[in-house]
Structure 1
Amino acid sequence: MKIIKLSAIDSTNSFLKDLALTSTLENFTTVATDCQLNGRGQQGSSWESEPNKNLMFSVFLRFQSFEIAEKSYLNFAVSLAVYETLLAEKIPNIAIKWPNDILSGNKKICGILIENNLKGTEITSAVIGIGLNVNQIDFPATISKVSSLQLLCGKNFDRDILLEKIVFNLKRNIALLKAKEFYNLEAAYLDVLYKKNIPTMFKDHKNTLFMGMVVGISKEGKLQVALEDERVLEFGIKEISFL
């Protein structure tokens, strides 16, 4: 595994995507930084992090014969790699919040951004961006429901060791993905999905409130929510939120 460490960068995802345009990258090439100046999350949201406290990195993956229709399983593999690492570190009450946030209780500790390079009907490569709150203990008042490993466990964590463990688990899960072990990845993901089979209040993109229950993920990667009238609706990113 090749690791490129940078003291500061706008975005590790952007850096790695640009590098892939000018270089033939080894699979699992990783770029990590101590300070990310313009971190990005899902759908153009930002990711803010205190310098030298957290884990901010991106990993390059190359694929052969990986269909766009199977992209949800990549999300499962990546999310589970982080989840499994934190579970082994005994981080309490962790779950995966659809599509790929990692929570402890109801507080976010990790965000994931997957950017795919497409050709025809296939995903030829992907850049996986991961931001994990590790040793930061103070967060802006404007950010609610957020925590870090140190706040949860009361101790300092070695960021380099965490990075190695996450990439190790990622390699194992990508091997399952390439072996078409889709059922096992999906089952493991659904088993730790936040609020699955628990009656929950939701808000849709029209700010309408409704009661429902997460029951699964569609083949297109949408969240499946069962309503009180037994209908099952599907929602894309930003079309629904937990209240």
Structure 2
Amino acid sequence: MKVIKLDAIDSTNEFLKGLSNKQELENFTVVTAENQVKGKGQMGSVWSSEAGKNLIMSVFIKDSLSDVSQIFKLNIGVALAIVEALETFNIPSLMIKWPNDIMSYNFKIGGILIENSIKSDGTVHSIVGLGLNVNQINFENLPKASSLAVICDSQFDKEKILKEIVMKIKQNIAMMNGDTDALWLEYSSRLFKKGVPMAFKDKSNQNFMGIIQGVSSHGKLQVQLEDNSISEYSIKEVQLLY
């Protein structure tokens, strides 16, 4: 595993994307940064982090997807890998909030951003970005955010967490090449607030009640509505109010 360590960078995803366009990268090349000034979340949202406290990383992955229809499988494999890795450090009550937030109890401790590019030969290269709140203590004006340090009242070794996460990602990608049913079942069982009546807000800012049933093969959230029908929502089409 090749690891490129940076002090400060605009975005580890952007740095790794630029590097992959210039040279042939080893599979699972990792870029980490102590400080990221233009961190990105889903659909252009911003991920901010206190310098030196958290794990900011991006991983270059190739040859994991045979075509674009499998893209959400990578999301599942990566999200589960992070949860499985954190469990080895005894982080409690870990769940995955659709599509790509890592939760402990009701608090967000991490966010994933996966960017895919399709090459001329049809292969898919992916850059997996992760921001994980590790040793940051102060989350002023962020009532739904927390960190491993706050939840466990302990400091953590970011290097050990990084190595465990990459190892678990490799294992899950190997599973993706065979029977993926086990991954889907595990992902479904880890879904935050699944099976619980919850309030949602749609893209028209209308509130409604629903129950998360699961996620479709294309990554859409499946919600049972009050009339018992099932609706599917893409990213940014619906917001879970919790």
Q: TM-score, normalised by structure 1?
A: 0.96
Task: Quote the sequence identity (%).
Answer: 47
Is the contact between residue 67 and residue 121 of structure 1 (CA under 8 Å) also seen in structure 2? Answer: no
Q: In 2, distance between residues paired with 1:101 and 1:64?
A: 22
Pairwise CA RMSD: 1.4
Q: In 1, distance between residues paired with 2:34 and 2:179?
A: 35
1:230 paired to 2:208: no
- Map 1:211-222; keep pairs closer than 5 Å: 211-222=209-220
Shift of 1:211: 1.0
Shift of 1:65: 5.7
Shift of 1:188: 0.8
Query: What do residues 80-100 of structure 1 show as CA deviations (whole Å, max 9, x unaligned)?
Result: 011111122111221000011
1:205 paired to 2:203: yes
- Greater CA deviation, 80-89 or 117-126? 117-126
Query: Partner residue of 2:125?
Result: 125
State the number of aligned residues: 241
Q: In 1, distance between residues paired with 2:202 and 2:211?
A: 14
Q: In 2, distance between residues paired with 1:64 and 1:152?
A: 34
Query: Partner residue of 1:14?
Result: 14
Query: Partner residue of 1:42?
Result: 42
Is the contact between residue 65 and residue 122 of structure 1 (CA under 8 Å) also seen in structure 2? Answer: no
- Map 1:168-187; keep pairs closer than 5 Å: 168-177=167-176, 179-187=177-185
- Map 1:119-198; keep pairs closer than 5 Å: 119=119, 122-141=122-141, 143-177=142-176, 179-198=177-196
Is the contact between residue 65 and residue 71 of structure 2 (CA under 8 Å) also seen in structure 1? Answer: no
Which runs of 5 or more structure 2 residues have no equivalent in the other structure? Answer: none
Is the contact between residue 119 and residue 125 of structure 2 (CA under 8 Å) also seen in structure 1? Answer: no
Structure 1 counterpart of 2:149, one-letter code: Q
SS in 1 for 2:35: coil
Structure 1 residues 64 and 138, CA, compared in 2 at 3 Å: closer, same or farther?
closer
Which runs of 5 or more structure 1 residues have no equivalent in the other structure? Answer: none
Q: In 1, distance between residues paired with 2:116 and 2:155?
A: 34
SS in 2 for 1:233: strand
Structure 1 residues 195 and 125, CA, compared in 2 at 3 Å: closer, same or farther?
same
Query: What do residues 154-184 of structure 1 show as CA deviations (whole Å, max 9, x unaligned)?
Result: 111000000000001011011111x232211
- Greater CA deviation, 106-115 or 56-65? 56-65
Q: TM-score, normalised by structure 2?
A: 0.96
Structure 1 residues 206 and 53, CA, compared in 2 at 3 Å: closer, same or farther?
same
Shift of 1:72: 1.1
